[in-house]
Amino acid sequence: MKAFTYERASSVEGAAKSAAANPASKFIAGGTNILDLMKLEVECPTHLIDVNGLHLDKIEPTPEAGLRVGALVRNTALAADETVRRHYGLLSRALLAGASGQLRNKATTAGNLLQRTRCPYFYDPNQACNKRQPGSGCSAIGGFTRQHAVVGTSNACIATHPSDMAIAMRALDAVVETVKADGTKRSIPIKDFHRLPGNTPHIETVLELGEIITAVVLPPPIGGKQIYRKVRDRASYAFALVSIGAIIQPDGTGRVAVGGVAHKPWRLEEADVELKQGAKAAAGVLMTDARPTEQNRFKIDLVERTLGAVIAQARG
Ligand code: SF4
């Protein structure tokens, strides 16, 4: 691990300012991803800004009858929260499908959104990787790609976003609240928060230098059957090959977001419109423009079959 300096932030504005003043710095909260990356020297921040003391760990109702989830709320606490379990069951189920109990006890809401891909080439500094080192190439293309993306890919990167929680947030139309280095606040719809890789796969979100997440806001509950189904190579502690987060209303309409298939939580509102027609129609829209490899072509069928199972479950 490379040497770094350490600071305990005492205010949100101070943390943002400090991060902007040092472009090679990183925020640290739960540390469940950044520490591994530092040990492997995939990430080499010269300065760590510990944000654990910023009191962003509350879950509170909003005046609009939604829910504001502080950036530092641990995944375990969010999954167990009574309001989340009752009105945002999709979020609770997605959280519990991720990682392990120990990791969920440490991992935070903001950190979960910002976690890096689990592409094995990204984690191996001996391999070319445009995400780790821009312009160096992509070892995954032409390599082992069973876990990789099938939609929204580019010639520079075919990695997936690993978060389960983010799939639920996308289906729920959450909004990410931030504070910039100049102290101004932003509300970013989750659909705009993560980026597709394009030619700059190392830039994964629309956050600006120093900008810090303070909360994620859930809109008022919309009811419906809320289901998260994750297909993976083993029953626990594994990333999704494909996951479906869906909210299905009694009349068959609903929303669907897909994990394990793209560089960001994958939802196309045009697919929501097709949900009533069934899994084939909706999955067909979701997988339009898919560019699979020979090794991950199976994901296209798997999306349809998993969505079919989710719709059947919703119909009882
Ligand atoms: Fe790196 Fe993306 Fe290629 Fe993986 S898929 S090696 S993360 S550029």
| pLDDT digit string, tens, across residues 190-199 | 999 999 999 9
Q: What is the mean pLDDT of residues 220-229?
A: 98
Task: Give the model's pLDDT for residue 236.
Answer: 86
Distance from residue 110's CA to the centre of ligand 1 (Å): 23
- 46 contact partners, CB below 8 Å, separation of at least 6: 2, 3, 4, 5, 22, 24, 25
| pLDDT digit string, tens, across residues 16-49 | 999 999 999 999 999 999 999 999 999 999 999 9
Share of the chain above pLDDT 70, in %: 100
Structure tokens at 270: 């045009």
Structure tokens at 229: 């189904």
Q: Is the CB of 158 under 6 A from ligand 1?
A: yes
pTM over 0.85: yes
Instruction: Give the closest residue to 231 by CA, choosing from 240, 223, 221.
Output: 240
Q: Is the CB of 42 under 6 A from ligand 1?
A: no
Q: Whose CA is nearest to atom 2 of ligand 1?
A: 157
Which ligand 1 atom is at minimum distance from the Cα of 121? 6
Q: Whose CA is nearest to atom 3 of ligand 1?
A: 138
What is the number of helices (H) and of strands (E) in the chain? Answer: 12, 11
| pLDDT digit string, tens, across residues 68-116 | 999 999 999 999 999 999 999 999 999 999 999 999 999 999 999 999 9
Distance from residue 120's CA to the centre of ligand 1 (Å): 8
Distance from residue 104's CA to the centre of ligand 1 (Å): 26
Evaluate whether 36 touches 111 at the Cβ level (below 8 Å). Answer: no
